[in-house]
Chains A and B, each alone.
Chain A
Amino acid sequence: MPRQFKNIINQILMAVLTIALALLIGAVLIAISGNEPIEAYKTLIAGAFGSKQRFSETMVKTIPLMMMALGTSIAFKAQLWNIGGDGQFIFGAILSIIVGLYSGFPAFLVLPVSMVFAIIGGGLWAGLAGWLKVKFNANEVITTLMLNYVASYFLSFLVYGPLKDPKGFDFPQTEMLSEEVQLPLFATGIRVHAGLFIGIAALIIMIFFWKSTFGFKIDLIGQGDPISRYAGINVKKTIVITMMLSGAFAGLAGWNEVYGVQYRLLDGLVSGYGNLAVVIALLGGLHPVGICISAFFFSALLTGGATMQRMTEIPYSIVDIIQGLVIVFIITRTAFKWKGGRRIHAK
């Protein structure tokens, strides 16, 4: 269908333009800070793709970002503004580590069971916010955000306290998972691990999800409460389930980090992936494939940016700025599309 094609091309074009504009402004800021933009971006690109090792670093980051953004997109489609990805990530990670360290299950069970618990953990943490919204009309933006802080402090409590590794020199971290339950790496020297398959599976599931009746229902909720009820949907139940699904993906990302990268739980496990997931979800147009690509782009930005910071004098905050600019441009662009006074989203 030519028209659908045109739409997709249009969307991609817009996304590219958005990123280009943000990068341009980034370049200006780099220049202001007394550095060479071209050099800076060269370092950034090298840092993200320069060698097999660098590329694998980018891949490593892409997986959790993509998972979290997929989760975020589920909620956003229903106009539920779940920005508590970090907290849901943490809860999933916590439950999964407990299974891994203390359940006593044989190795071949640990991986799947811990993954299930991670999904449940993230799902429940988000579901809590969903329930609060349905029962008390509590604004989910604030509740999910507050729950982020609560989860973060809870994690801190655990790793400084009951879960602390007795042999760990007093570092705020748990024991390490035994080798047999760690996710296998693809090759030595790089950090890409089997979690990649889980990520791809998640992506494929999401693509089918939006073609399913569940996806349809969630999409309809996003169109408004009155019409959803009119169509016979149980709105309250669906809201809670949607939030749970959303958090489940974040929990999965937490599992991925623990079993694939860190092999333990430590303080500060998550550093703002949740915010970034929001940006990625929006930039990807809430569509799984778009999200996958955006996740890759931002992972490159982060990985390259870290390198850039190490090798040059450029502050890492440029990356944050680019993130923020991308969102601003996206919503400006969406608003322009409907110029003439129409609302995009009714709350």
Chain B
Amino acid sequence: MLSNIFTVSFLVSLLASTIRLATPILLPALGQIYTQRAGILNLGVEGTMTIGAVAGFTCAYMSGNLWLGVLGGMFFGMLWCLIMAWLSVTMKANQVIAGTALNILGAGTAAYAYRVVFGIQSLPPQIDPFPTLKIPLLGDIPVLGTIFFQHNILVYLAFILVVVTWFILEKTIFGLKIKAVGEHPRAADAKGISVSGMRYSAVLIGGIYAGAAGAFMSIGYMNLFTEAIISGRGFIAVSVVIFARFLPVRAMWGALLFGFASALQMRLQAQGIEIANQFMLMLPYVMTILALIGSSKKAEFPSAYTKPYSRLER
């Protein structure tokens, strides 16, 4: 059985799966790059993604249109993060507790909403998820085609967003302001930038991405909604951002790394490999810890990280 691993087909399916499994980590991570660079640590991503998942699924199911599902996920994800923005920026509350609160609240609200809409059914409602979109020509290349060009559209979008995020952060004034607000909010304020305005924007953008990622889970990766659908990916995304030193391209590699761990775990399990399944399942979480160890030196964080800003403090 071990010999099965070293076939090309195993490798191809492993790598393709890596890309697919990286998506629900990459998407929220990209959004969190905005949020964290603006100086806010939003640990409520997990809850936001759950809300996005249930919203996405519900909208898609009700309307019959998958894209409405995605939009629904994005919208409700953004709305959920509005609470976080209000708590961290306006109320200047402790960001760690606020994020934890939103997770608990998100889990409950999502489950509750699902129940209210769908009730208890013997067979959980399902939909047809996003189909695989094979890119013409490129998708036909042997090996590489299968790995890279045969995914659903949301996966492609996620990776395109890596470039978009890089562009916005490095090449636009908006991105510059976001960085300024996280580095030296007092300076930004003195230059006439609205610190709270920028921070709200950053948190809401994070919410949109997270909501989209949640929707991806329920209507792009799986085809239904369960309470545990996110299983820690939100936290892994936050860690990936730190691990990637807040850079989009590195975040992509980080997400791929985690996707690889998950994909490997699933495939080895399917092959009946004797390594206990649970240790493979642990892998992404252990990796997150290792990633944090390697990359948390104080010097690398935006200087105003997790510090609320107030003009009055002298």
A: residues with CB less than 8 A from B are 29, 32-34, 81, 83, 132, 136-139, 141-143, 145-147, 149-150, 153-154, 156-157, 160-161, 275, 278-279, 282, 313, 315-325, 327-328, 331-332, 334-336, 338, 340-347
Residue of A nearest to B102 (CB): A324
Contact (A335, B108) CB under 8 Å given A132-B292, A141-B43, A317-B115: no
Contact (A343, B92) CB under 8 Å given A32-B116, A154-B282, A320-B108: yes
Secondary structure dominating the interface of B: helix
A345 to B235, CA, bound (A): 22
CB atoms of A29 and B278 under 8 A apart: no
User: Could you say which of B282, B298, B306 has the most chain A C-beta atoms within 10 Å of its C-beta?
Assistant: B282
A255 to B21, CA, bound (A): 37
CB atoms of A137 and B297 under 8 A apart: yes
CB atoms of B100 and A33 under 8 A apart: no
CB proximity to A under 8 Å, residues B101-143: 101-112, 115-116, 120
Give chain B nearest CB distance to A150 CB in angstroms. Answer: 5
A–B complex contacts, Cβ < 8 Å, 19 sampled = A32-B116, A137-B296, A138-B293, A139-B296, A142-B238, A149-B232, A150-B282, A275-B103, A315-B115, A323-B104, A324-B101, A324-B107, A327-B100, A327-B101, A328-B87, A341-B310, A343-B313, A344-B92, A347-B307
Q: How large is the interface on B (under 10, 10 to 19, 20 to 34, 35 or more residues)?
A: 35 or more
Residue of A nearest to B107 (CB): A320
CB atoms of B278 and A328 under 8 A apart: no
Contact (A137, B100) CB under 8 Å given A150-B282, A321-B112: no
A188 to B283, CA, bound (A): 45
A85 to B166, CA, bound (A): 38
Secondary structure dominating the interface of A: helix
Q: Of B87, B102, B106, B232, which one neighbours A145 at CB under 8 angstroms? A: B232
Give chain B nearest CB distance to A283 CB in angstroms. Answer: 12
B: residues with CB less than 8 A from A are 43, 83, 87, 91-98, 100-112, 115-116, 120, 227, 232, 235, 238-239, 242, 276-279, 281-282, 285-286, 288-289, 292-294, 296-298, 305-308, 310-313
Residues of B within 8 A of A335 (CB): 87, 91-93
Residue of A nearest to B101 (CB): A327
Residue of A nearest to B115 (CB): A315
CB atoms of B298 and A137 under 8 A apart: yes
Residues of A within 8 A of B242 (CB): 139
A321 to B238, CA, bound (A): 24
A325 to B276, CA, bound (A): 39
A342 to B94, CA, bound (A): 12
